[in-house]
Structure 1
Amino acid sequence: MEILLETVRLRLRRFAVADVNHLFALDNDPEVMRYLNGGVSTPRHVVAQEILPGFMQIDPTRPAFGFWAAEMKESGEFVGWFSIRPLPENPRHAALGYRLVRAGWGQGLATEGVRALIHKAFAELGVARVVATTYEHNIASRHVMEKAGMRLVRRFRLTPEALQATDTFHTEAMELWDGDDVEYALDKLDWEKQHNDGR
């Protein structure tokens, strides 16, 4: 089992075929998917044939980038996933993502994982800027980004093309929500200053 990193409570490891049940359960919790596809169920064949294979892809030139299954270090219980992926328009900028099971909410696990990934991105992976996006009303996710030292940099509306290109969840509806998405970012220099200030 290849492990990317460990925190006080979490272990981030490679996805495996056996994780199909974990992902299926995660993506079929309406509350988990509320701000992603409106809480619509994801068919099992989509998880098994599209989403999981994408999560298991590895770039041999940059193997630390991609999707990582998150489990509790002590029990091995699956609690979701985190991702760090280079942006196509600038390989020194990386997009951060995460999704946790509902039972893991409100315990600081998302913040713990995000902070660890940001540290790895800046300290080891040569990343100069980390970004993350969410729907404007997803207050819990926005708080995670803020606790990790990220700041709001822009608001934007998803296009139908961007929604269709999404690879982390399934949706058949091309109807855009009446609201903005928000992007948060953190530059390496600002992270180093926060780090040196003991934040």
Structure 2
Amino acid sequence: MVLALLCAPAGASADGGGALAPTSGEAKAADQAAPTPVVVKRGDRGAAVRKVQSALGVAADGVFGAQTEHAVRRFQKRKGLAADGVVGPQTRDALGLEPFARGSVGRQTSGVQLPRMLRLIAECESGGNPRAVSPGGQYRGKYQFSVSTWRNLGGEGDPADAAESEQDRIALKLYRRAGSAPWPNCP
């Protein structure tokens, strides 16, 4: 499996066998066309969190904790949105907020020691959102794993439902085997 990953051409992505397979240009372009928006979630800190808190009418301390997550879920339910507690583009728009700048959100770490390159890949792939799902649904979680690659590396269930620390652990395992090759559209 490692040789297949390392020898894959640029522009390939993880497939069902754990190796890389070329993707159609149109399919990949549709899945990766727009830059990934910055999301705000539990554990985050900063100006974007304060904006969300102010829009929700909760104490704007800049720390996305349990109270803020609860308020986000309640708001999402009222608006008929997926009540995941994460402020992505739909929730942000419903709150009447402009897109968040990358520097306006501080991330809490998962406890897994990650190389700088892997942190950059996560930011590029999903904005660091462990619940992210690509528009076509094929790539899932913080590192946009295919389900087959996720399972081949020891993950269980849906990557987007896994704990962030588990996603970090699996991504680190893949990165140690193949470097950044499994993420051809990111640094």
TM-score (norm 1): 0.29
Larger radius of gyration: 2
Q: Larger strand proportion, structure 1 or 2?
A: 1
TM-score (norm 2): 0.30
